[in-house]
Structure 1
Amino acid sequence: VLGDLYDEIKRQPEPEAQRIAAALELYVHGSLNVFNHRTNVDINNRLVCFDIKELGKQLKNLGMLVIQDQVWNRVTVNRSEGKSTRYYVDEFHLLLRGEVGSWSVEIWKRFRKWGGIPTGITQNIKDLLASPEIENIFENSDFIYLLNQASGDRKILCERLNISTQQAAHISNAGPGEGLIFFGNVILPFVDHFPQDNELYSIMTTKLGETGKGGTAHE
């Protein structure tokens, strides 16, 4: 853990080492020591979910970097065993800022060669497209799935993704499960009305009035 690194640096005689140790102290013994512990979760599970919602602003970037490093390690191990790794990121626009953004671009560029399949999910299109890193993400994405878009977002997307007026109609006032799929150079409209009379729907729905019918959207 980080405390082991801190102890090793403290043993070094150079003044530079002491300055590094002093900078780390807040994250080892101070109020931001949340990552200086061993996890109580089995990270070798087939499905692992990382939730950073409760992290404060000071720990958000560090938390994201720790998680991305963990994901990269899992991809490396799975590759050696001939397995693919699926990586889903909700609120993806948050991972396109600063150093975290650079890491995200590296993931999109290199994961496929290592058997990784990254997927970014977001409702904040303007925040997503405002990132200077998004061009690299789009260029390395083979599959893009667009649902209904607000007028301002739709205009930006049409310019960035070369969507025609006729195609844009499928993401304008579209119903649930309707939109556009981009696969390579092909753009296809789709309608996918998921049946509601089953357990999967009750688990996956995010509609407030339906989340009590046997499941919640985050189970």
Structure 2
Amino acid sequence: MKVACTVWLGAKGVKASDLSRLLLKEEQTAAYSVEIWKRFRKWGGIPTGITQNVKDLLASREIENIFENSDFILMLNQASGDRQILAKQLNISPHQLSYVTNSGEGEGLVFYGSTIIPFKDKFDNSLMLYALMTSKPDEVEKRKKLGIGERND
């Protein structure tokens, strides 16, 4: 099964987290998102969501159900209020929270089932793979100027 997603081409500063927040803001699109999430899981899909602030995500009871039924959560640096929500919802210890408190790039926590694993991933930024995966706006612009990763179909 293929699922198509609309990308806002050329939109400056629009991030996936902003798009998720906008979709979940309205009751009708939030309810639709929950229904699609459930169907994708039922069909063997692996739905994926991203948010910058978990408190925005959990403002809706319906969306909170998605969060509660998520088996895998990757957490990077979190704001204080979001850390407290995550600590309560996922039973994260104060020591584990230190990995998402003022953490650097590539540092955080992985929550899988009932297991919480801290990580530090220092990816070599001189690699071509780094240039293809970075989401830093200045580095993406540099990559575009150099023509790295462009398809020539």
Structure 2 counterpart of 1:73: none
Name the SS of the counterpart of 1:197 in structure 2: coil
Aligned 1:33-48 pairs, distance under 5 A: 48=4
Per-residue CA distance 1:92-149 (angstroms, 9 max, x = gap): 2322231111121122223122122110011132211212223210122111010001
Q: Which runs of 5+ in 1 are unaligned?
A: 1-43, 55-88
Q: In structure 1, which of residues 139, 146, 164 is the aligned counterpart of residue 68 of structure 2?
A: 139
Q: In structure 1, which of residues 80, 95, 101 is the aligned counterpart of residue 23 of structure 2?
A: 95
Structure 2 counterpart of 1:61: none
Aligned 1:74-153 pairs, distance under 5 A: 90-91=17-18, 92-96=20-24, 97-153=26-82
Structure 2 counterpart of 1:173: 102
Q: In structure 2, which of residues 99, 103, 114 is the aligned counterpart of residue 185 of structure 1?
A: 114
Are residue 156 (structure 1) and residue 46 (structure 2) matched? no
* Compared CA separation, residues 171 and 184, structure 1 to 2 (3 A): same
Q: Which amino acid aligns with 1:137?
A: I
Q: CA RMSD in A?
A: 2.7
Number of aligned pairs?
A: 139
Q: 1:197 and 1:121 mapped to 2: Cα distance?
A: 27
Name the SS of the counterpart of 1:117 in structure 2: coil
Are residue 203 (structure 1) and residue 132 (structure 2) matched? yes
Q: 2:3 and 2:124 mapped to 1: Cα distance?
A: 25
Q: Which amino acid aligns with 2:103?
A: A
Q: 1:209 and 1:102 mapped to 2: Cα distance?
A: 36
Q: Which runs of 5+ in 2 are unaligned?
A: 11-15
Q: 1:167 and 1:198 mapped to 2: Cα distance?
A: 30
Q: Contact 2:100–2:109 (CA<8 Å) still a contact in 1? A: yes
Q: 1:199 and 1:157 mapped to 2: Cα distance?
A: 34
Q: TM-score, normalised by structure 2?
A: 0.76
Q: Contact 2:57–2:64 (CA<8 Å) still a contact in 1? A: no
| Deviation at residue 90 of structure 1 after TM alignment | 4.4
Using CA pairs below 8 Å that are at least 6 residues apart, which structure has the higher relative contact order?
A: 2
Q: Post-superposition, which runs of at least 4 consecutive aligned residues in structure 1 deviate over 3 A?
A: 46-49
Q: Contact 1:202–1:213 (CA<8 Å) still a contact in 2? A: no
Q: Which amino acid aligns with 1:136?
A: N
| Deviation at residue 154 of structure 1 after TM alignment | 1.2
Q: Which amino acid aligns with 1:94?
A: L
| Deviation at residue 212 of structure 1 after TM alignment | 3.2
Aligned 1:16-31 pairs, distance under 5 A: none
Q: Contact 2:108–2:119 (CA<8 Å) still a contact in 1? A: yes
